Structure 1
């Protein structure tokens, strides 16, 4: 894989090699991220204008774009500066006006001399009963009219790049597009009736109507598939390399697991059982596990994670569960302790708080293998921490645990299996785009006994009623979260919002009843406030969104979210999942400030209607788009030029299957189709993938 294939050279030459592109235009195009003829090809038109010739404008549905041959009549110059300069014209059946503003009369007399025949094309509108065309897009003598395309593609432009330049550059780039061998799966191409790459490019830049610029047009779909396929090939190559790194074979005896399962008051859901089967199959194979466990709030990820840790212990090794914060690590510890007692395994915690001799004792016990399962924060990464025989690392992915940390962790246990858990339901298409190098298990059922949460939408004008409702709940011994919005980016104003609410609730409910936790507090104070709420000392916890992560207070049955309309759907769903964890029925009050926008209302209604995190995430994706959903800046989502993750989710899954199938039969990409796929990777600038092949 020495370098870029020669037939692609013309596509990666300078922009100035294209017709009509000078140094200045090239600079302007670079601002759109267009740096080579290849990029010009991938900047497809987003609309098309019908410029087919008509005999007459009579009977046209106005306003619309018309193209017609006319005889030029009288000129009526503007009366004042900046006024309208009008030219009367007639086609074969009727007459209308051409209108120009800020026009130079001598120039117009030259291009539209009275009595001449001209073909004009532009938007014709009715104005005070008179049909007029303001600033026609094209004015040409009839003998030159053949140069006007019948259907004109419309490109996204920037300052200094006109439609004419964009069109000319695209036409010129198309002449460079070589015939390329087919990399897509032949059955897929036949089934979808897709053109080959070059024909698809030709068709995409020569749309014949609105359907041709839609994502489902065969030429577009084919080019979108290429993008997704190249992306999935890159991920599959990374996965292949990851899996080649020898894993450790961990085969569980099932003894410890059955003790835990026997002690439960309920049976695991089908989804939990399936996930455990997938995980134990991965752990018992020689390849290293790299699996994502995706589960909705309350879907029972903890149990699945713990059973996986037990497989490691049954096989004679150790397991570690990583949490992003001290609070969460302690909470994992609380959640796992009763299970560990049933199984009779040694469970310990290691965080930044462990100091001195106590820490030393833990580190030594870990090295001897006396600790079976460790719960920890990133303190586990410190160099003096060594495991006796680490088999499985579970990462709680609330804090965007990156690939780099996954690597560090795997170095602690050469070849340890990795399971990443996330409580954010991600629609499948995005999960594949973001975690395509991993295998995915999904928990999409709720364990029995979880009571549904009643969700109500109330206006802030009914604040008094809400507070009264709280008061009676507190008298019944219940607890409540009160979430204040992050009003704008400045931490200061958020703080005042939360502090104001805190003061007002204390005045109404009593000083001891209300606690406060926000992002600006020192960690120790935050922990103290959380602890007071967890132990039931405080009844109401006023918080900015710091609580959406994993906190577990079974006695909290009310969640009030102020200004719910400015939160994202996924975030609201996560916050709501903090209640409904105990025996009692719970409520979530979404408070909004009127008037609600359509989007705001739709978001709140979706929450009221469903607790299914995957459905909520799909809606969120449709409403907000892929980038917003996981914050494009840190999402690791690739930027696709043509593919549309929201509308072409199914295509992503097909691309992943195809990429994995191609590599399993041809891991080095040496077959004909493999060679073609290499060309695709160069075409798509997937340098990372190309390196993986050349190293691999």
Structure 2
């Protein structure tokens, strides 16, 4: 599988090999993400112009694009140099003008002689009650009518690329599509009524009417499925590779877990119990576990993860819990300490802060197996860290840890099982796109005793009232987060916004009461500001969104989010989950800049109505689309050119089960359909997958 198959060479050649494309044009194409002719195949028209011949202009609602047969009448040359050259024409029911600028000599006299018949097509507008077609797109003799497309596709453009050029380039590329063997399951294909690849791609570029442009049109749906199938094959190959990796059976006897459960003030929820047993079952098998533990804010993921870590210890091994930042690692340590004491296991932390002798003694204890559970940042993956017998790695906060990092973690070749925790409720279709290689456990119940959070919408012009309420709450000993908006994209302006808010609150509430955290601070200062707030030394923490992940301050019971309409719903839900962790009733104030748009209001009202992260995430996806969901570019959710994750979630599910089944039947992809699937992977630029097969 070393090199790209020969039939694909023409599609992956330089763009300059297409007629009419030079180096300059190739650079313009790159702006649209088009690097090779292959990318033009998947750059589909988004609308079309109906150029069917009409009897007359008479009944058209102008402005409109119209195609009619006309008799050419008198010409009127412009009176002054830059003026308009006008030709009077008549169709079967009315008269109008063709208008040209920069007319040279008698050019139009020769092209459109008076008395001749022509078919003209172009945009017609009314000027001074006279219908005018300025620079017709087409003006041909009646016998050449077939030069005018009946429905002309309209492509996405960028500067330097015209519709004409796009049309020519896509046609030249379509001519290069080789015959492919079918990679889609035959029964799936016939049941959906999908055409072959070559037919589908030709039809998608040559729509006959508006409905051919919809995502549900068979040719488009087929191409979307091809994209999703290639992506799911990549994930399925990664999953199969992980499955083939020998793991180690870690069978816990439950004695340590029993001690912790007995000491808990409440019973675990049904969802927690189910997740604990799914994980235990995976750990007990001889294959490596690769499982995602997905749960909403406060669904009790930590307890489930700790039970899994204890199972690793019961089986005679060690466990590690990795957090994205030092603050979160320390917080996990605080949260797990009492549980570790109940179980009687040795729990330690390792971060970039550990230096010198202290670090050396920790490393020695790890290697001997004296430290049973280690909490740490990615520092635990440095070369000099070795475990006596690592059985389980738990990775917290997945979205900073995309598919690629997971593939790398797998390459470390350690036999450890992997459990990934995420507090971001992800809609089903995105979860499949991002985590299709993993098995998923979902915590969809809240543990008892979590108080609901009151959410209110307040317009920015009531900021003084809000500050007044804050002061009262602080007097009662409560703490508050104040989240500043993300201004545009630049971090400098974020900083200015946060700084201004910090100064205003400090002026009103008093020195030493207000702390500040933003993305531009050195990590040590950030940690110090967070710790002061955790200890209750500062009462208000002004922050940009750095606080969204995992920070736990039980005494904080008010969350103010400024310009809430500029955040994603899922992000607002995450931020809100930072309060409501203690005994006091908590409030979240969503401050918006009036006037809100209708959709802006609907989005914020969803938050007021529900605390269910999954409902919120689905709504977010429906209202904003995958493109804007928080950080999709970094989070490993792939970008598809044809497939639409919101509307085609069902296709993604079919692609996942089909890809897994194909690999189960033909792990090496050597059957006729397997070979076709390899071709699909090359066509879809799935290089990761191709490496997985060749290394496999």
Question: Which band: TM-score by shorter chain?
Answer: over 0.9
Superposition pairs of residues 286-435 of structure 1, within 5 angstroms: 286-397=286-397, 400-401=400-401, 414-435=414-435
Give CA deviations for 1:468-512 in whole Å, capped at 9, x if unaligned: 212222222222112233435555554444344334333433334
Q: Specify the SS of the correspondent of 1:54.
A: coil
Instruction: Show the counterpart of 1:222.
Output: 222
Residue equivalent to 2:612:
612
Q: Following superposition of structure 1 onto structure 2, how do residues 428-577 of structure 1 map, counting pairs within 5 Å? A: 428-487=428-487, 491=491, 493-577=493-577
Structure 1 unmatched ranges of 5 or more: none
Equivalent residues of 1:259, 1:343 under 8 A apart: yes
Q: Shift of the alpha carbon at 1:577? A: 0.8
Residue in structure 1 matched with residue 72 of structure 2 by the alignment: 72
Task: Establish whether residue 195 from structure 1 lines up as the match of residue 188 from structure 2.
Answer: no
Q: Contact 1:49–1:151 (CA<8 Å) still a contact in 2?
A: yes
Residue 628 of structure 2 is matched in structure 1 by 628
Aligned with 2:106: secondary structure?
Answer: helix
- 2:240 corresponds to: 240
Is residue 77–residue 105 contact of structure 1 (8 Å, CA) maintained in 2? no
Quick check: 1:225–1:652 contact (8 Å CA) kept in 2? Answer: yes
Are positions 1:261 and 2:261 aligned together? yes
- CA RMSD after TM alignment: 2.6
Is contact 2:349–2:374 with CA below 8 Å preserved after alignment?
yes
Structure 1's 9 and 106: CA in aligned 2 closer, same or farther, altered over 3 A?
Answer: same
Q: CA deviation at 1:226?
A: 0.4
Asked if 1 retains the 8 angstrom alpha-carbon contact of 2:238 and 2:407, the reply is no
Residue deviations 1:362-413 (CA, integer Å, cap 9, x gap): 3222222222211112332333322111100111126713567657766778
Are 1:323 and 1:396, in contact at CA under 8 Å, matched by a contact in 2?
A: yes
CA distance in 2, matches of 1:54, 1:207: 19
Q: Is the 8 A contact 1:123 1:136 kept in 2?
A: yes
SS of aligned partner of 1:526:
helix
- Secondary structure of the 2:237 match is helix
Tell me: CA distance 1:342–1:30, structure 2 relative to 1, closer, same or farther (3 Å): closer
Q: C-alpha separation between the residues in 2 aligned to 1:404 and 1:73?
A: 67
> 2:98–2:136: 8 Å Cα contact kept in structure 1?
yes
1:50 aligns with 2:41: no
CA distance in 2, matches of 1:411, 1:29: 36
The structure-2 alpha-carbon separation of the partners of 1:18 and 1:128, relative to structure 1 and needing over 3 Å to count, comes to: same
Q: How far has the Cα of 1:137 moved from its partner?
A: 1.0
Task: Say if 2:118 and 2:141, in contact at 8 Å, map to a contact too.
Answer: yes
CA 1:623–1:106: 2 relative to 1, 3 Å: farther
Alignment check: 8 A CA contact 1:51 1:67 kept: yes
| Cα distance in 2 for residues equivalent to 1:678 and 1:522 | 47
Per the alignment, residue 139 of structure 2 pairs with 139
1-structure distance, mates of 2:31, 2:654: 33
Q: Deviations over 1:506-546 (max 9, x none)?
A: 34333343333334444444334333322333322223322
Partner of 1:694: 694
C-alpha displacement of 1:359: 3.2
TM-score, normalised relative to structure 2: 0.93
Report the 3-state secondary structure (helix = DSSP H, G, I; strand = E; otherwise coil) of the residue aligned with 1:219: helix
- Contact in 1 for aligned 2:402/2:636 (Cα 8 Å): no
Distance 1:693 1:360, change over 3 A: closer
Contact map agreement 1:381 1:408 (CA 8 A) in 2: no
Within 5 Å, which residues of 2 pair with 1:46-125?
46-104=46-104, 106-125=106-125
Secondary structure of 2:594's match? coil
User: Is the 1:502–1:514 Cα contact (8 Å) retained in structure 2?
Assistant: yes
Of the structure 1 ranges 314-323 and 622-631, higher mean CA displacement relative to structure 2 is found in 622-631
- Equivalent-residue separation in structure 1 for 2:404 and 2:39 (angstroms): 31
Shift of 1:211: 0.8
Superposed displacement of residue 20, structure 1: 5.4
Does 202-211 or 341-350 show the bigger shift?
Answer: 341-350
Q: SS state of the match for residue 516, structure 1?
A: strand
Q: Which moved more, 1:557-566 or 1:167-176?
A: 167-176
TM-score, with length taken from structure 1: 0.93
Sort the Cα spacing of 1:75 and 1:393 in 2 relative to 1 into closer, same or farther, 3 A. same
- 227-236 or 8-17, which moves further after superposition? 8-17
- Find the residue that maps to 1:125 and give its secondary structure: strand
Q: Matches of 1:273 and 1:547 in 2, distance apart?
A: 30
Q: Distance in 2 between matches of 1:619 and 1:634?
A: 21
* Greater mean alpha carbon deviation, residues 491-500 or residues 379-388: 491-500
- Partners of 1:172 and 1:528 lie apart in 2 by 61
Contact kept? 1:294, 1:421, Cα under 8 Å: yes
Question: Paired residue for 2:650?
Answer: 650
Is the contact between residue 387 and residue 412 of structure 1 (CA under 8 Å) also seen in structure 2?
Answer: no
Moved more, 573-582 or 512-521: 512-521
Partner of 2:664: 664
Distance in 2 between residues matched to 1:408 and 1:188, nearest whole Å:
34
Task: Structure 2 unaligned segments of length 5 or more: list them.
Answer: none
Structure 2 Cα separation of the partners of residues 79 and 124 of structure 1: 23
The 2-side partners of 1:27 and 1:485 are apart by 36
Any residues of structure 2 matched to 1:584-623 within 5 Å, and which?
Answer: 584-623=584-623
Distance 1:529 1:612, change over 3 A: same
> Compared with structure 1, are the counterparts of its residues 11 and 544 closer, same or farther at alpha carbon in structure 2 (3 Å cutoff)?
closer
1:176 aligns with 2:176: yes
Q: For 1:689 and 1:599, locate their aligned partners in 2 and report how far apart those are by CA, in whole Å.
A: 40
Report the Cα distance in structure 1 between the residues aligned to 2:337 and 2:278, rounded to whole angstroms: 25
Tell me by how many angstroms 1:599 deviates: 4.9
2:262, 2:423 → 1: CA distance?
26
Change (3 A) 1:408 1:361: farther
CA displacement, residues 550-580 of structure 1 (integer Å, 9 cap, x when unaligned): 1111111111122323333332222111101
Query: Shift of residue 196 of structure 1?
Result: 1.4
Per-residue Cα deviation, 1:104-159 (whole angstroms, up to 9, x for no partner) = 36222222111110000112233443322222110001111122222222223344
- CA distance in 2 between partners of 1:227 and 1:491 (Å): 35
* Between 568-577 and 633-642, the greater mean CA deviation after superposition: 633-642
Cα distance, 1:583–1:27 mapped onto 2, change above 3 Å:
closer
Q: Flag the 1:81–1:446 CA change in 2: closer, same or farther, 3 A.
A: farther
Distance 1:695 1:41 in 2: 30
Q: For 2:681 and 2:148, how far apart are their aligned partners in 1?
A: 36
- What SS does structure 1 have at the residue aligned with 2:634? helix
Cα distance in 2, alignment partners of residues 686 and 599 from structure 1? 37
Paired residues of 2:28 and 2:158 also in contact (CA < 8 A) = yes
CA distance in 2, matches of 1:411, 1:514: 46
Question: Partners in 1 of 2:404 and 2:175 — Cα distance?
Answer: 43
- The answer as to whether partners of 1:381 and 1:409 remain within 8 angstroms in 2 is no
130-139 or 30-39, larger mean C-alpha shift: 30-39
Number of aligned positions between the proteins: 696
Alpha-carbon spacing, 1:475–1:30, altered in 2? closer, same or farther (3 Å): closer
Q: 1:136 to 1:567 in 2, by over 3 A?
A: same
Residues 308 and 81 of structure 1: is their aligned pair in 2 closer, same or farther, counting only changes over 3 Å? farther
